[in-house]
Amino acid sequence: MTVPDGVRDDGDLPEFVRRLMASAADLPLRHRMQERTDTARRSAVLILFGEGPHGPDVLLIEKSAHLRTHAGQPAFPGGGADPGDDYPVGTALREAQEEAGVDPAGVRVLGTLPELFLGPSDNLVVPVVGWWEEPSEVLVGDPQEVARVARVPLADLADPANRYRLKHPAGFLGPAFDVADMEVWGFTAGVLEAVLEAAGLARPWDTADVRPIDPEKIRPGRVPGSVDAGGSEDAAAPTVADPGQAGAAARTVPGR
């Protein structure tokens, strides 16, 4: 893992985070990526861990159904680098603020995982790892781009009952998670699987449970897992925000 200049690498973090930081230089997912191209667009995503109401969790968004690509697909907050960004950390934090209302001042950036090249979208993605020291309310920043924001407990992601594999008609076969009323798949699920393994949180699960991808999730000419160019809660569920009326930002109770 790369630790940018000026970023603290303290020892007062959960064991799973320290283990991830120590082993992430050889992230398992990287071995399944294609070789990058010279035209690859620089992108970044924020893998934001925190201590939520149901234990350690990670922040995910669900793309809006109005988007041209990846409509309704769960993802980490993130997107393409803008001119003037302090890439990749500045890009990841800016996108998380725009998409999920995350205050960058409340995030301790821990470092970056190895860059991952996504051939179908020609994106070079750098995952930025952060710890949410001062969690704010989860919210939908732009309802035209984001449908929901969820703090998903890591215990739910690691639960074998919530794991299976999805098969794409084109032959794509990858991990999937059924959490927070979302089916997490593609690039995001691949990164989550690798992170769980590197952090020592993975549990044995039935890899023979293979299901077909819902055709409604597939857009012509796209392969699951690529990154966009632009970028009700209850006591038993992760904290989730839904868009309010007339495009207003939707809020839930504070994360803790």
Average pLDDT of the chain?
80
Region 97-125: mean pLDDT is 90
Which residue in this structure is represented by tokens 């995030």?
Answer: 107
Q: Is the pLDDT reported for residue 239 higher than 80?
A: no
Of 19, 78, 60, 244, nearest to 157 by C-alpha is 60
Of 166, 178, 179, give the one whose Cα is nearest residue 225. Answer: 166
Contact 145, 64 (CB under 8 A): yes
In this structure, CATH architecture of domain 15-216: Alpha-Beta Complex (3.90)
CA angle, 61 then 205 then 182, to 5°: 20
d(CA 230, CA 222) in angstroms, rounded, equals: 16
**Using one digit for the tens of pLDDT, what is the confidence trace for 150-191?**
999 999 999 999 999 999 888 878 999 999 999 999 889 999
Angle at Cα 7 formed by Cα 6 and Cα 10, nearest 5°? Answer: 125
Which CA distances in Å does 95 have to 99, 105, 135, 158? 6, 14, 16, 26
pLDDT tens digits for range 113-148: 988 888 777 888 999 999 999 998 888 977 878 889
pLDDT in tens, 7-66: 445 668 999 999 999 988 777 665 566 778 888 889 999 999 999 999 999 999 998 755
- Looking at residue 68, its pLDDT comes to 45
Q: Where are the domains of the chain?
A: 15-216
Predicted model pTM:
0.82
Tokens of 11: 């020892």
* b/e per residue 111-150 (b: at least 16 CB within 10 A): bbbbbbbbeebbbbbbbbbbbbeebbbbbbbbbebbbbbb
> How far apart, in whole angstroms, are the C-alpha atoms of residue 66 and residue 227?
16
Residue 170's alpha-carbon distances to 107, 149, 209, 220, 223, in angstroms, are 39, 30, 18, 11, 8
